[in-house]
Structure 1
Amino acid sequence: MEGFFKHGRGFPSFKNRSNFRSFQYKPGDVKLDGNKIYLPSIGWMRFYNSRPIPQGFQIRTVTLRKKADGWYTSILIKDDSVPDYPTPKEVNTIVGLDMGLTKLVHCSDGSDFDNPRPSTSKKEKRTLKIRQRRLSRKNIGSANRKFEAQKLARLHKKHADKRSAYQWFVANKIVNKADAISVEDLNIKGMKAKCKPKPDDVKQGRFLKNGQSAKRGLNRSISDASWGTLIEKIQYAAAKSGKSFFKVDPKNTSRTCSKCGVVDALSRFGEKFVCTSCGHEAHADKQAAGNIKTRAVQQNGLVIKKLKKVRRDSVKPKQLILFETPTVESTTGKRKQHRARNSFPRCAWEPANSIEFMGY
């Protein structure tokens, strides 16, 4: 009301209870006891305690959210005694990551991760289209419309759960690859921005085609890949494992040659990269991942330690059984058997008695 009368922001509208899908409690209002939680004005309730709170952490704000399949609680915890570890300048290995759509992640070591497309695959797009069409044909305000809206919400949550589970799998795999991880500092919101309108000079009030209809499919694929949440999960997993995490400027990472350093937009043809200067050929996205790795080393002044290589012709140590101590007595019999076996030439077959075998 104040915004309408004093600032003229628009007419006030009635609020529906469906608009409020979450609420929050202040620190100190909520109590926990095993798998029970005390919520003010509601009382003690049972809940699924997915992760126990470590000792020494304080419970701060508690947020309750309503989703398609029930209510969820998010508990913010804090511990001031946890120190901030400094970022090391010397690392053994570092891996660069390039986000994509054909493959979800391309790594600088040559590996990649598939993009499952939980909501933009052919099958899921068809299922989503059917559910949305059924919802649109129901009468507004009817019980059938609410039922169809619930089914549609559960489908969207199913896609989100699949995406989140796969991203945690990818994040843990990537963190186990190296001691440091580098990614691009992407402006995803700007990548999904609408194309600028092109006014028609001939017809006043009309606009020319600007490619927005084709870009709409690209925006959906970017949203389905969810690069932002994937980068957050990789950063969280790296901090939990004590690994270093770096973000670099993404400018010209896919147009720069990793051999000679020449930047040319004509060097890239889709997923193929051919340098116009030195003729270097590589996969465009893996080439970009290598440039991201190099840029992270240069911008942060990292020093990569050289590991000692082991020669292939070196003698392999003998594999012993657990708690076994080799002695002279235990190896004497084996040496005699080895000499007796090599004293006669080997043949393809050897009869037990040559006289009986020949029939004499």
Structure 2
Amino acid sequence: MQKNTDCYGWIASVVGAKLMRIAYQYRLLPTSEQRAKLSRWLDMLRLQYNWMLADRFDWWEMNRCPVNACPLVASIAEPREQPNYYSQKRSLVPLKQDRPWYKEIYSQALQDMVKRVKLAFDRYLSGDCNGNRSGKPRFKGKNRYRSFTYPQASIAWIDGNKIELPKLGIFKVIWHRPLPEGFKVKTAIVTKKADGWYITLTLEDMSVPEFISDVEPRENNSIGIDLGLEKFLADSDGGFEPIPQHFRKSEEKLARLQQKVSTAKQGSRARKLLVRKVAKLHQKIARQRKQFHFETAQKVLKKADVVFVEDLSVKNMSRCAKPKQDEAGKFLPNGQSAKSGLNKSIADAGWSQFLDILAFKAGKAGQRVVKVNPKGTSQHCSNCLNRVPKELSDRWHSCPHCATELDRDTNAAILIKKVGLDIALLKNAQPASDWKRSPRCTA
């Protein structure tokens, strides 16, 4: 049972000194009438989301420049107040008068839709709490708006194996595990997925204090791991975890289904069924990957209390290659064909998700995950710290100075552990003067 519960029991956030939130997801079993009503809600929320987003874009395009910086040729916009979260919430009252069918939707679900518009637009203009800006928000197409939220849910909605959602009725639920005692239900998110409808309950417990692990990293209670594509994981103890490549194994089946989709008639029932098969296959691949990450994280945490990992920027590693042009402006080969295959393998491995799961499980168990700078961990010897350059295709580490012979990934994992323990500082390691003479080492 532990295998299944971990996949949905994520610690969502820890706010303040004594506040812990977790999220449990369960499958809903709606009737045909309830499925139609849920889909109708999503469609109406999507249309209003697009309208409010367009209203913000319209004001922004017309009023973002000061008077002394406006272009010479521009349409003169009628002066009006800037749409914001509160003005758009107030607009829901006349909306229900002009379009009475919106009264069918629960009021707080409508208000949460306005909040989504605000968050999407704010991230585009100002960025998040770290200053990282998102791209321009896109309008939601059909089947792109997949969830709505009850911001103030209650444990009183649950009765046995059923849950009553306001203005939707009573739904049967597959309670694959009971709700933990002492937690209060705060929010409920209803989501449409490829294989049906799900509800995510956010639980809160004020009595659970924030726990920060005080385990001190030492040589005997820590381990270093190096993530890769030939092997998913190599640790400093010499262990390996093979990479399953869930997407690669299903790639041919997925290609056949997508080819059938492309030949099916637009809007036909056969095409819709094929599209659903494609979505279910993608969902299966994602679940297989997540399950593998949970199981691997459990294996790693059984070996040590402190785990040192690389502070990887996966987003930068999977970027497209920059275009190259000659003097005449003609585009030259830039290696994007080979890079696209590498990017697909990186996405299939799911390094970012694994590191998040590893940190989550370590926090639950009172253990620690420490990120270290990965610079130089694959180009230095773990024994003498001399630089031993290797190409990506070189999978064996052979040091010409101390005669260390071991797997390249194991060597990197040992270095990651030493850097985490402050035993090795690679920036002070002196490069070997004669590494070019070694036949095993290539620049």
Q: TM > 0.5 between the two?
A: yes
User: Which runs of 5 or more structure 2 residues have no equivalent in the other structure?
Assistant: 1-53, 63-136, 424-443
Q: Percent identity?
A: 37
- Contact 1:268/1:274 (8 A) holds in 2: no
- Cα deviation digits, residues 145-198 of structure 1 (max 9, x gap): 111101111111121122122222111111111121111111011100011111
Write the letter of the residue equivalent to 1:111: G
Runs of 5+ in structure 1 lacking a partner?
300-360
1:6-55 Cα shifts (integer Å, max 9, x gaps): 2339xx99864422111111033573233222222212211112332222
Is this contact kept in 2: 1:22–1:66, CA < 8 A? yes
Partner of 2:175: 49
Counterpart for residue 209 of structure 1? 333
Provide the rounded CA distance (Å) in 1 between the counterparts of 2:140 and 2:215.
Answer: 52
Does residue 1:222 correspond to 2:354, yes or no?
no
- Over residues 102-132 of structure 1, what are the superposed CA-to-partner deviations in whole Å (9 max), with x where a residue is unaligned? 11111111111111111113xx221111111
Q: Which of residues 233, 246, 258 in structure 2 aligns to 1:118?
A: 246
Distance 1:85 1:6, change over 3 A: closer
Residue 313 of structure 2: aligned partner: 187
Greater per-residue helix proportion: 2
Runs of 4+ that moved beyond 6 A = none
RMSD, matched Cα: 2.3
Query: 2: CA distance between counterparts of 1:277 and 1:34?
Result: 69
Rg larger in 1 or in 2?
1
Structure 2 CA distance for partners of 1:200 and 1:25, relative to 1, 3 Å: same
Out of 259, 268, 272, the position equivalent to 1:133 is 259
Is residue 24–residue 62 contact of structure 1 (8 Å, CA) maintained in 2? Answer: yes
TM-score for the superposition, normalised by structure 1: 0.75
2:321–2:334 CA contact under 8 A, matched in 1: yes
Partner of 1:100: 228
Counterpart in the other structure of 1:336: none
Distance 2:265 2:384 in 1: 64
CA contact (8 A) 1:179 1:243 kept: yes
Q: Does the 8 Å contact 1:99/1:106 carry over to 2?
A: yes
SS of the residue 1:210 aligns to: coil
1:8 to 36, 61, 67: 61
Deviations 1:271-308 (A, max 9, x none): 11122443322211111111111122229xxxxxxxxx
Residue 143 (structure 1) aligned with residue 269 (structure 2) = yes
Alpha-carbon distance in 2 for matches of 1:298, 1:140: 61
Conserved 8 A contact 1:266-1:276: no
CA distance in 2: counterparts of 1:4 and 1:245, whole angstroms: 42
Aligned mates of 2:213, 2:138 — CA distance in 1:
51
Distance 1:262 1:19 in 2: 52
Pair 1:110–1:23, CA change in 2 (3 A): same
